[in-house]
Structure 1
Amino acid sequence: MNAKSIVTRLLDAAGITPDGSAPYDIHINNEQFYTEALHKGSLGLGESYMKGYWDSEALDEFFARILSARLDEKIKRDLGFRMQILLARLFNFQRPNKAVENGSRHYDLGNDLFELMLDKRLTYTCAFWEGARNLDEAQENKLDLTCRKLNLRPGMHVLDIGCGWGSFAQFAASKYGVKVTGVTISKEQVALAKEKCKGLPVDIRLTDYRALDEKFDAIVSLGMFEHVGYKNYRTYMEVAHRCLKDNGLFLLHTIGGNVANAFTDRWLNKYIFPNAMIPTMGLIGQSFEDLFVMEHWQNFGVDYDRTLLAWYENVQRNWDRLKSKYDQRFFRMWKYYLLSCAGSFRARTSQLWQMVLSKEGVPGGYKFKNRATVPGYATVTGNVV
């Protein structure tokens, strides 16, 4: 049986027809697609899309269907993939000097791209859409929810590990009256974050989290844990424990997976997030054993589907302003990244977790405010789960 027959049969199991009429069907422009997809798996699927070998009108739904049907598990992993797994187990690809290289390949692509793709605060993490009318409101919902989960009060000093372009720092300092110290390893992020937080009690530093050794009233980390790597999970938690005051709270916000892997999808690993790794509940739990008490765990991964679609719509709408710097191959790569990830959250193979940790357990039990404290923001619920 040739590659075309095998791939066609696999796609049929997900209800997808090559050159079919449904929006999520795949349209073949070059039959080399079949060989690349079969022999190189997810890497070949993505690279053949970047080359223009195939298209789909609803790329996000295409991925939701193939992931729900677990087609990725049915295609045999090749020797190169097995070698990557072995290397990831042998070496620490997120050590300090390597972490800087990993981060710069994505986050230093250009602030112009992210300014046109993200919300007004440049929040590059999952939004919380309940009651929101647009991306800006949904991201403020998420930032406000985060602040309320930490029970922030004026005068507190908060550490933001992986602060990005300073969206949380700007929001928490201006709306909750706290002082924020943010750390990132991206030079581009530091420069813009300092500009956006000018005049606020915010200190943005270009430093690796492992260098931190001072006390804070609360700690937050939004969308950075995916870059830590399982060899560094315990160190990461030890740093958070070392830096958190005894009565403080630590909120960890991360994408989560249902199955443990040494690194993320092969295509994403090569083109988007080098040496990233999606944690599982078990790996996270093991990493903070004897260090923290789990107070609260919430999954709103379905909101990431809508967030990614909003980011893609922004990129598509603003492409005329970007195409002088980024070519068509980049556009296809970025579209594939955003919409394939949207499909993974829709298929529930990817999750988004927010967890609140304390050092000794909150006396009387953990609670946070159910009502948004900032006038005009959408009210979001905060039931402990």
Structure 2
Amino acid sequence: MADAASRLTTLAENLLGAPPSVRIRAWDGSEAGPADAPVLVFRHPRALRRLIWKPGELGLARGWVAGEIDVEGDLYEALNQISGLIWERSKRSHRSDHSDHSDQSGRRRAHQLRDPRSAAAVADLWRLAGPRAWLPPPPPAEEVRRRSGPLHTRSRDRQAISHHYDVGNDFYERVLGPSMVYSCAYWRDGGTLEEAQRDKLDLICRKLALKEGGRLLDVGCGWGSMAIHAAREYGVRVTGVTLSREQAAYARKRVAQEGLTDRVDIRVQDYRDVKDGPYDAISSIGMAEHVGSAQYREYADVLYGLLKPGGRLLNHQIARRPEEDEAAYQVDDFIDAYVFPDGELAPLGGTLSILEEAGFEARDVESIREHYARTLRVWVANLESAWPDAVRLTSPGRARIWRLYMAACALAFERNRIGVNQILVVKTEGGASGLPLRAREWTETPQG
């Protein structure tokens, strides 16, 4: 087992096709790789057993969550190096498979498995993993257990939402800060996270043209920040719906503290069960990612039916890049198993098409991708500065999940692998949209 780090470095180079650009430290104290690079630490050979039984991202994620794999130094730089190499290799493999017939692709994969370097690397991986390599380690307790039945039934959606959002309100306070907004902020020069989140909420209110006495439905209302801002600053009556009981309890408490119980109603309710329309406006902020591609037309139809003629929907949603073969799209293993069970991202064009098919007129699309990268980096800094509390309030594994997830997402937004868009659509009937001919009102700088 001597010099495990050198063997791991050789193994990674043979499997990935290029030398790793991080330094590796193994459980035996050995190190190998560039001296000035971030250090990828393998604390236990059990991490290699995880990779044997779940090759790729899920195996690495299980080792990270269990604390068997760690990073010393700049986490972003380490993730940038590792994910960049895997991403490029994956794209090359996808392009090759896409350009050939299936029988040719199959022969290529078989040839790769017979490649002496790959075969030697796999054999050495088994040896490094130790005498118990034949036994798959159980996944960490934080992993979502096997799910069955159709996607996005009401009961399954409740379970998925509970897994992500019912981690503990105290934990989210440490990460999100006083604003308690769990979506992309809207940054101006300088300013704090709280100011940027306030500006984002106000931007949405202005895009929706909220007016005193109007009715707003906030779908996926979270901890109540949008509902409170809209009711307090614009005088609207707000119905907020969420599937998370912990979020609802927290939001109701905040509403009471603000003295807004006569204007804000927070419900534990599926958006599909809202029957008290019509509403003047609907906000959906970071919620549509949970809907699922098969149910997205239903989502659009339901919200269309809940709006009055001329009503506006602001759909704030993360988007992925289109695939060459959309049928081959697969949900990210780590996110599905540990972060957002059953969540799906869609390309912007597909989302717009479905909203239009439901009857909406698309009037404005604003990409705020760079804003989310900055937001995520602040959340990561908040988590790291409150690390002992975060671990105490959840678990070491859960805190590690959120740190890895948010840091990796920040890089994905920065590298334009994913984006986030605010889509404004209108229930236009009779040709009247209600939007001004002059420059959009929401481009004006808010006062105060």
Alignment-mate amino acid for residue 62 of structure 2:
E
1:372 and 2:445 equivalent? yes
8 Å contact from structure 1 (residues 23, 56) kept in 2? no
> Contact conserved, 2:38 with 2:71, CA < 8 A, in 1?
no
User: Could you tell me how far 1:135 is from its partner in structure 2?
Assistant: 0.8
Matching residue within 65, 73, 95 for 1:50 = 65
Which residue of structure 2 lines up, in the alignment, with residue 226 of structure 1?
289
TM-score, normalized by length of structure 2? 0.74
After superposition, the Cα gap between the structure-2 partners of 1:368 and 1:73, relative to the gap in structure 1 and judged at 3 Å, is farther
Q: Does 1:272 align with 2:345?
A: no
Instruction: Name the CA distance, whole Å, in 1 between partners of 2:80 and 2:168.
Output: 29
Partner deviation per Cα, 1:149-168 (whole Å, 9 max, x = no partner): 11222221111000000010
Report the alpha carbon displacement of residue 215 of structure 1 after superposing the two structures with TM. Answer: 0.6
Instruction: Give the one of 223, 233, 255 matched to 1:197.
Output: 255
Superposed displacement of residue 367, structure 1? 2.6
Give, in angstroms, the shift of residue 53 of structure 1.
2.5
Q: Does 2:410 match 1:342?
A: yes
Counterpart code for 2:90: E
Q: Structure 1 residue 324 and structure 2 residue 329: aligned?
A: no
Aligned partner of 1:184 in structure 2 is 242
User: TM-score w.r.t. structure 1 length?
Assistant: 0.85
Structure 2 residues without counterparts, runs of 5 or longer: 1-6, 25-32, 95-108, 110-145
Give 2:34's aligned residue. 20
The C-alpha deviation readout for 1:89-122, integer Å capped at 9, x for no partner, is x964112111001000111111110111113121
Take 1:352 and 1:297, find their aligned partners in 2: how far apart are those partners?
A: 10
8 Å Cα contact 2:21-2:37 kept in structure 1: no
Letter in 1 for 2:386: N
Q: Where does residue 316 of structure 2 map in the other structure? A: 253
The 1:263–1:209 alpha-carbon spacing in structure 2 relative to 1, beyond 3 Å, is farther
* RMSD over equivalenced CA pairs, Å: 2.9
User: How many residues align structurally?
Assistant: 365
* Alignment CA distance shift 1:245-1:23 (3 Å): farther
1:349-372 Cα offsets, whole Å, 9 max, x none, are 111111100122625658333223
Q: Secondary structure at the match of 2:218?
A: strand
- Give a deviation string over 1:53-95, Cα, whole Å, max 9, x none: 24242222333344445246269799xxxxxxxx99x964112
Greater gyration radius: 2
Find the aligned partners of 1:263 and 1:220 in 2 and give their Cα distance.
28
- Residue 181 of structure 1: SS of its match in structure 2? strand
Contact 1:301 1:345 in 2 (8 A): yes
- Aligned-pair identity in percent equals 31
Preserved CA contact (<8 Å) 1:20 1:26: no
Tell me which of 283, 307, 311 is aligned to 2:350: 283
Deviation at 1:171, TM superposition (A): 0.9
Match of 1:353 among 411, 418, 421: 421
Letter in 2 for 1:204: I
Within 1, Cα distance between the matches of 2:71 and 2:393?
23
Question: Residue 161 of structure 2 aligns with which residue?
Answer: 103
What is the distance in 1 between the residues matched to 2:8 and 2:386? 38
Contact 1:41–1:75 (8 Å) recurs in 2: no
CA 1:151–1:190: 2 relative to 1, 3 Å: same
CA spacing shift, 1:310–1:45, aligned 2, 3 Å: same
Distance 2:190 2:47 in 1: 40
Query: C-alpha separation between the residues in 1 aligned to 2:209 and 2:180?
Result: 23
**Aligned-partner Cα distance in 2 for 1:42–1:229:** 22
Give the CA deviation at 1:323: 3.1
Matched, 1:242 2:295: no
Could you say if the C-alpha distance between residues 264 and 128 of structure 1 is closer, same or farther in structure 2, counting changes exceeding 3 Å? Answer: farther
Aligned to 1:381: none
